[in-house]
Structure 1
């Protein structure tokens, strides 16, 4: 009787293990992509100021699902769904396979500023704006950039604790220029990694890419004898030349 009970248990375990391995061998455990739909987007990328079409501009598109629906990616999803470049006439065409629960499309234009002379730009659009049938027409524009050279010198030094830094900005524009492209030093004081100077012999210039045909506003701060003062100036940055401010 005892022997029969043991045999029954062993038989049960054998059947259970056989069923388990049979289940595993018959199932596909690869990840399953969620349902998706295909949309087509076409358009032209132009110069923001002249309205001329821009050839050779790269454009990447990500589909995004935000857990909050407010642009926060935490616990959401992001997937690259397409990329292309404009043709000789500045036209592009994207065929995007978008997962169905996406709520936004993010367009990244001119990433890394591979198209010289123009900013890089990111634009978000609600996915609900796009038709699932037919062609969606979406045009973009990029702001041109120009060079601004800012020269500076500690003309009235007080002590080795003299401190100096500056920055600049432009209003009502979209995108990001490269920023600083050259930093020259004509004094003995070497700037920090954050572009601040501390010492008596401060002299140099910074050349940066900024928005063309717009006014750049420059702020600089000087601390001497423990007193910090702020100064302001501005310069209209023309396209095609090196604009200078001293």
Structure 2
């Protein structure tokens, strides 16, 4: 909806926070590769240089500035010893799946371990979050793209949460990778053919969809309990009876 037809969600006052953290990390990692690993005293300057919140009021900006400083300080405490092992920052990869479908992306960070493993690292913040299963598939694809580019297979993959700290690690999963590439190829063919039918039933993605409120499907309304008399139904609902909640609406015609 957003990328093909131009539907955009309302502007979040915190818009820009996640990218600002990401840009500050790029500088940390780039300087580390050059041999200068930043220290905690560098954090206020990093936040000052990179924090950009065009839609935040002064109170929100102050809160997010503090949150950014805390996130970067926590990251340096937890991972400073790993910064001398970095190999690539913002590494671009491309994977040709055939039939005109090409997946391209940029890996946040690639580092080595003391056991000679190659780790693909992705950074997330609560303000820049996406569904966990999408992140997993994305990193599996990035790992495959890096292998095709360099001939070296990354394993494992890691996701770092900047706001809460900690990281989640898992191995490259060949079965998940194959399934993901098949799904991407199928989606690419559908987009190319403009074959994008509206779902008539609730799907797994509906709960996370930003456009649920304007969807015409029977599940395309906010998940709140309410009663709506038949004669009050708007035209898009057609002839319907709603009792108790939208979940048990009965379609009668």
- Compute the TM-score of the two structures, normalised by the length of structure 2: 0.27
Name the one with the larger strand percent.
1
Name the one with the larger helix percent.
2
